[in-house]
Chains A and B, each alone.
Chain A
Amino acid sequence: MSVVWADGGPWRLDSLQPTLRPISSVCRMFGRQAGGANPPTVSSTATGAANSGGASGGQGHDKLKIGFCTDLDKSVLVNNFEKRGWHQVNGDDDWHFYWAGVQTCRNIFSVDSGYRMHDNQMINHFPNHYELSRKDLLVKNIKRYRKDLERDGNPLAEKTESNNSSGTRYLYLDFVPTTFVLPADYNMFVEEYRKFPLSTWIMKPCGKSQGAGIFLINKLSKLKKWSREAKGPFHPQIAKESYVISRYIDNPLLIGGKKFDLRLYVLVASFRPLKAYLFKQGFCRFCTVKYDTSVTELDNMYVHLTNVSVQKHGGEYNTLHGGKWSVQNLALYLEGTRGKEVTDRLFGAISWLIVHSLRAVAPVMASDRHCFECYGYDIIIDNALKPWLVEVNASPSLTSTTVNDRILKYKLIDNILSVVLPPDGVPDVRWNKVPSADALGNFELLIDEELAAQEEQHQNSTNAHNKASKMGSRWK
């Protein structure tokens, strides 16, 4: 307690970073169930290991000056790198840390480039991140993951009667809306469509982001018309592109009458074994216009799409808050108006959804030890408080729309760096990637398969009392 009092307040941080606000160290999101912000027990047992691993890896480069390279000239990135005393270098020079665009990353990993990374280099993408971030591949991978589990007779793949899709649905793994890839799955889509002729569908180009090229349809004729036009001479680019068509979540949870989605940040330090962390300070992105399902509003994207890039152009866009509301406030509101149990269930379901989407792509990901990646998860909550995964972005926007947004993103980058870097701050692939509890910052551990396995082993060998780590066993 005396620490709280004696500390001259987190203000001192402000004086160094005039535009930055310290972010409360005690967060109330997913950590709520585990009793406050205490990191999962696993990480504390592993702290010793982390230090020793770091020490051995850090040998010999005491004087190493770290060179960073970035394709994005964003102050939240550069300020964070410079704060750590790194200096900026060119992509052709000897760099240690590269915040790259996906194209650069592809070039570095391509066989043609002949580039081989050394042990003290790190880069912010996995070579084939598109397995998760492309809308069509994500769905393909999840479908395959479920089928594999089903074949193995895994209880996770249990199915149940369904009332809104083809006969049955997965009891635990039903977290993406029914989706087909067009034109490939056109016949399957038509079959599904005929079963529920009154439903609305959303069309998205596979390779685009920020709401570009998205539209809603509620009649098959409209899709046919679109397809005819796309084949015409005026839109050669559309013809080449593939689309996904998904059942539109037409019963979203509304707050203040408005639709919103969640943007959560998930850091993956490794896919095999899977090590993933969830940033506790996600936010809700609100539409500026009242939600309205009437047919006349079907083409009004300000009603349906929550993307900031779309909403920004609406007349109602507020530049002070940018339509962003913190996940902590969402939790407070839901607890106050709907109760604790349903709120806990919702946030539990969100963690569940993230972990299984990552597990679905883990086998096909090239889990290079030089790589880590921060994903922007877009999730919609329906009015039964069930979360739906809409899409995953491998390069979530680092542009700040408001002051708070800037603080949040600065903190995000800072925390990412402290999680993925060994304790001595020098990139090193030989490090065991077990950050200390302090290094997590506002991240909380979602899953660490390696630690979970160790924990299990440890338990089996010592037959210790049933102190199973919640995290370790929860995802079994």
Chain B
Amino acid sequence: MEELQDASIHHMTAKVISAIKNTKCYEPLFKELQRLVCNPAVDTHDMRNTLEDAIKGAGLETEIRNIVYNLVRSRLTRPDEKTQASKQNTKPTVSDPLGYLKRAGVLWDRRVRKSLNAMCTELKVPLHGQPRISADREDFMAKWNELSNYNMDLANYRPVYAPKDLLEVLLSLKGPAKTTEPTDHIPLWEFSHIALPVKNLFELRAHYADLLRSDSYLGVPDLTIQCQRILEARHAPMCQQFLKKGCTPAPYRGALWASVLDSKLHDYDIEYWQKLRNSVWTTDHIVDKLVFKDIQLTASNDDQYFVFEDVLYQVLLCFSRDTDIGGCVEYEAFPVKGKTYEGPPSGVVPFHGICMFAAPFCYLYDSPVNLYYTFRAFYIRYCHRLTTINTHPQGIVSLCLLFEKLLQTYEPQLWSHFRELQIQPLRVVFKWLMRAFSGHLPPDQLLILWDLILGFDSLEILPLFAIIILSFRKESIMQVASLDSIEAILADLSSIKVLPLVQLALSRD
């Protein structure tokens, strides 16, 4: 047994080491290590101990620990999935109960890219972009800090897709029919037939147990001092733990998030940001128009975010050029015949409201480059799962399923009310889920909700919170009988306070 454990640790170590070597931080880390080895304190006779001390002394140990923490959390789990996927590729796919879902994911992604390609053809612009003519380039560079004044004709551009489109696809998902039940008993609009495992309230309570604890860390009752000490220690897992409280002092949120998402700036990050910016300046890409269009349709009109319009242009334009993103996000792999289409450099086709994922970060960071990396990391880890069809336990499909099951179990009255009205409850909350409530909750509350996403490293808070809101306004919903009226009741969330409501829902018997 011990031998096995030993082997598995060795196996893991080997994986971590090879993964570290592939990260951008490896080179500076290695150089720093070389510098430390030359340190007179490192004794060639007792290399192991003296070097270890030197590493600790220079604060390099924390940095390495954080890198490992982050790799284990994100990238290391992926190659496994990929090998699994490739194994499945060779097997006949009928046996995979989630095959149809994976297939839908691939088809959805293909459909989105196809639309983008069709738009290119229609407007006679190349998908790969074209060099900006010099006058345009100069204009663009001059207006980089005030892109709201950069004029272009966007009349022919429209968002490639909106939450509504994804919802329609999700609602039309059909799994293999269960033979044991007569099909006419399964309403067409229920998700319950999807064989994805989701938590029940009991399991959610266990997952979010820390939210109900009132003990203070480090023996200091003052949150600000706790926060300062945690940030000084630079341990990413401690930062994550702190966010679970849901009462992060605003001045420290930016640093805590960057620490948890491993998006603290390095020199190479700044260089890369400049590279992305140059790419935006020199090439004219169809996604630029879509980005402009999206910001103009959403953030520019939003009384919580309009002041940040110009920052958002910069961030989303650079995002569209970032080829690193394609390598980090997870797409469903499933063999589906037919033509494949190319996407934009980042692989992410802008959709209606994509800028609302970046907008809340404007309250955290003053500089676009700081904002960019934390937003990008957040997008890769969370937002991407909300906008694609996937089998991930925190993907939009699982979240929809979780929402329906919770509603059915804990608000049966509402469930049957919706059912009587022939309204799919998902229709009412889908835009909240897909945008992670951005643009729906006021910024101060939204940031608390996102603290909880990061702290508990889970998007499951979204359907849970959606249920809480429905439950909170249940009395009013029960009194109306149309989708419009229900939407009117739920339109304004400005009086909703995240933390007390979530705590109450979790502690309720």
Query: Residues on A close to B: CB < 8 A?
Result: 1, 4-5, 8-12, 14-15, 21-26, 28, 255-258, 260, 284, 286, 289-290, 316, 318, 320-321, 323-326, 328-329, 332-333, 335-340, 402, 404
Contact = CB atoms under 8 A, between A and B. Distances in A.
Contact of B492 (A22, A323, A328, A329): A22
Contacts of B43: none
Given A9-B489, A257-B146, A337-B364, 15 more contacts: A4-B472, A4-B497, A9-B472, A9-B475, A22-B495, A257-B145, A258-B307, A290-B145, A318-B300, A320-B301, A329-B363, A329-B443, A335-B249, A336-B253, A338-B251
B310 A8 contact: no
B231 to A, nearest CB: 13
Given A8-B473, A15-B476, A336 B254 contact: yes
B311 interface: yes
B199 interface: no
Nearest to A316: B148
B472 A325 contact: no
B444 interface: yes
B22 interface: no
B52 interface: no
B366 A337 contact: yes
A4 B303 contact: no
Contacts of B27: none
Name the residue in A11, A286, A320 with the highest tally of chain B Cβ atoms < 10 Å from its Cβ. Answer: A11
Contacts of B303: 320-321, 324-326, 402, 404
A94 to B, nearest CB: 40
14 contacts: A1-B504, A4-B497, A9-B495, A21-B492, A22-B495, A26-B497, A256-B311, A257-B145, A320-B302, A325-B307, A335-B250, A336-B365, A337-B254, A340-B249
B460 interface: no
B476 A28 contact: no
A378 to B, nearest CB: 18
Contacts of A340: 224, 249-251
Contacts of B307: 255-256, 258, 260, 284, 286, 325
B249 A8 contact: no
B364 A256 contact: no
Nearest to B445: A24
A6 to B, nearest CB: 9
Nearest to A7: B472
B364 A336 contact: yes
A332 B250 contact: yes
Nearest to A335: B250
A296 to B, nearest CB: 15
Nearest to B145: A257
B308 interface: yes
A4 B494 contact: no
B368 to A, nearest CB: 11
A11 B489 contact: yes
A131 to B, nearest CB: 35
Nearest to A13: B495
A411 B250 CA distance: 28
Contacts of A325: 303-304, 306-307
Contacts of A320: 301-303
B473 A9 contact: yes
Interface in B220-256: 224, 249-251, 253-254
A45 B233 CA distance: 46
Interface string B479-509: 0000000001100101101001100100010
Q: Please name the 3 residue pairs, one residue from A and one from B, whose CB atoms are nearest each other, closest first.
A: A8-B475, A321-B303, A335-B250
Contacts of A22: 492, 494-495
A289 B307 CA distance: 11
Given A11-B489, A402-B303, A328 B495 contact: no
A404 B301 CA distance: 13
A288 to B, nearest CB: 9
Given A21-B492, A318-B300, A318-B301, A332 B306 contact: no
Given A22-B492, A24-B495, A336-B254, A12 B476 contact: yes
Contacts of B308: 256
Contact of B444 (A10, A289, A328): A328
Contacts of B492: 14, 21-22
B502 to A, nearest CB: 11
Interface string B434-449: 0000000011100100
A335 B304 contact: no
Contacts of B472: 4-5, 9
